[in-house]
């Protein structure tokens, strides 16, 4: 996204990826695009297939006590919506557009090292196709995920870390079966949280709250489907099952580093922050970071004004902490703590009841869920 944003204003970049093209195009991740993300893809001219194949949703369902409650996202937000489109599909489109433009994107690079970050001319050295290469850059964008090289390259003592671990994880499946619902279902149940999402009219995506150290091997297909059936149960509704084609375990965590920059290195997305999965904000937050970074670089390149670069962290953090709060709130409301006591359980119940009773409460969820406007 950043490379496309910069290309649009004539700024060259080189994209380095340490995995293969096939790997990043097939890796199953979340699939909910906020309205501002969709609008930005359109602005970049890379949204065509997303509009053709993505599913626009105007509401979500909150389910508890076997009862179904619709949150009318679009009615509550002046017409905004979410688009269901797998992250790997978006990655395919961005790569295809990059290659079609003849702009550099290198896969399976090895041994990436950053240097001279506190100078005007930082370097990136790496191995590509058996050759050692060095790029001299004006800026380095650390868009390399939580486990990437960028964040650990920043000297000790510069970054402060803020984090929370949650006593649960998500067991996610992709199943070859038509979704049993038109809109996403977030279900709070005494056995734990469950989520029914989808990827297409014939592919379902579902999640179960499990323990963080859960053994995936202990979950047969039958066990997964019967647990989903129990947690999603509602009168007059049934869950269709089918072959499970992918399964994964995702721990939930909140993580932020401040600042998000060091000299000419700027962190974006998971390199700087992780949000718990509930609400599907990770991808969208990464998109808003790179929009801010593209603005800052563009201003600096065009006018020499470095205030955008200096203010990058502050601008990003305002949205990041808003989204951290939203994702934390949604997670806390919907998941059952392993040792949940009566007090905590009754508070969660009161939150759920308020959410579906008060239009103001539902609107608050809806505004955050469809995505707040970029600053």
Residue ranges that bind ligand DHB, judged by CB under 6 A: 30-32, 184, 195, 197, 205, 277-280
Alpha-carbon distance 357 to 138, whole Å?
Answer: 53
Q: How large is the angle between the packed helices 342-357 and 312-334, nearest 10 degrees?
A: 110
d(CA 196, CA 362): 20
Long-range interactions of 123-128: CB distance < 8 A, separation 24+: 124/16, 126/16
Q: Which two tokens stand for residue 283?
A: 């991808």
Extract the tokens encoding 101: 């433009």
Let me know the angle formed at the C-alpha of 153 by 150 and 158, rounded to the nearest 5 degrees.
Answer: 105
- In the complex, the smallest distance separating the C-beta of residue 48 from ligand DHB, rounded to whole angstroms, is 22
**Residue 8 CB, nearest distance to ligand DHB (Å)?**
29
| β strands within the chain, DSSP E | 15-16, 32-33, 55-57, 60-64, 67-71, 82-84, 105-106, 110-115, 123-128, 131-136, 140-142, 160-175, 185-188, 194-200, 203-210, 244-258, 261-262, 265-267, 273-274
Of all residues in the shown chain, the one whose CB is closest to ligand DHB is 197
> What angle separates helix 282-303 from helix 35-43, to the nearest 10 degrees?
40
Q: Which is it for strands 32-33 and 82-84: parallel, antiparallel or unpaired?
A: antiparallel
Q: How far is the CB of 170 from ligand DHB (least distance, A)?
A: 8
What does the block give as tokens for 289? 């970071």
- Nearer to ligand DHB among residue 201 and residue 236 (C-beta): 201
CB of 241 to ligand DHB, least distance (A): 17
Sheet order of strands, 265-267 included? 140-142, 265-267, 261-262
Q: How far is the CB of 344 from ligand DHB (least distance, A)?
A: 22
Smallest gap from residue 4 Cβ to ligand DHB (A): 23
Residue 91 Cβ vs ligand DHB, minimum distance, rounded to whole Å: 14
Tokens of 116: 């001279």
DSSP string for residues in 306-319: -HHHHTHHHHHHHH
Closer to ligand DHB by CB, 77 or 204: give it. Answer: 204
CB of 128 to ligand DHB, least distance (A): 33
Q: How far is the CB of 198 from ligand DHB (least distance, A)?
A: 7
Radius of gyration from C-alpha coordinates of the chain: 21
Which residues neighbour 181 within 8 Å (Cβ) at sequence distance 6 or greater? 61, 196, 198
């Amino acid at each position: 996204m950043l490379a496309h944003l910069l290309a649009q204003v004539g700024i060259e970049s080189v994209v380095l990826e340490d995995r293969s093209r096939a790997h990043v195009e097939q890796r199953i991740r979340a699939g909910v695009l906020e309205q501002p993300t969709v609008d930005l893809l359109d602005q970049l001219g890379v949204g065509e297939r997303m509009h053709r194949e993505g599913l626009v949703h105007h509401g979500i369902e909150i389910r508890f006590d076997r009862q179904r409650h619709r949150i009318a996202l679009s009615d509550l937000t002046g017409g905004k919506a979410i688009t269901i489109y797998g992250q790997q599909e978006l990655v395919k489109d961005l790569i295809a557009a990059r290659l079609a433009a003849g702009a550099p994107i290198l896969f399976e690079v090895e041994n990436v090292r950053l240097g001279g970050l506190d100078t005007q001319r930082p370097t990136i050295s790496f191995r590509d196709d058996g050759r050692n290469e060095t790029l001299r850059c004006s800026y380095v964008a650390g868009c390399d995920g939580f486990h990437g090289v960028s964040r650990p390259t920043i000297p000790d003592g510069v970054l402060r870390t803020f984090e929370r671990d949650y006593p649960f994880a998500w067991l996610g499946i992709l199943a070859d079966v038509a979704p049993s619902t038109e809109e996403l279902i977030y279900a709070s149940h005494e056995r734990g949280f469950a989520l029914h999402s989808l990827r297409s009219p014939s592919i379902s995506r579902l999640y179960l709250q499990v323990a963080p150290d859960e053994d995936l091997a202990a979950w047969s297909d039958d066990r997964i489907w019967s647990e989903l059936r129990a947690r999603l149960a509602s009168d007059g509704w049934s869950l269709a099952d089918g072959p499970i084609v992918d399964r994964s375990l995702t721990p939930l965590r909140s993580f932020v580093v401040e600042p998000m920059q060091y000299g000419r290195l700027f962190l974006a997305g998971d390199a700087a922050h992780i949000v718990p999965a509930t609400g599907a904000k990770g991808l969208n937050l990464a998109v808003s970071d790179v929009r801010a970074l593209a603005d800052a670089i563009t201003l600096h390149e065009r006018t020499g004004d470095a205030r955008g670069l200096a203010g990058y962290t502050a601008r990003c953090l305002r949205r990041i902490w808003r989204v951290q709060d939203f994702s934390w709130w949604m997670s806390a409301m919907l998941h059952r703590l392993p040792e949940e006591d009566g007090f905590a359980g009754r508070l969660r119940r009161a939150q759920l009841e308020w959410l579906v009773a008060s239009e103001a409460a539902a609107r608050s969820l809806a505004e955050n869920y469809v995505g707040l406007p970029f600053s």
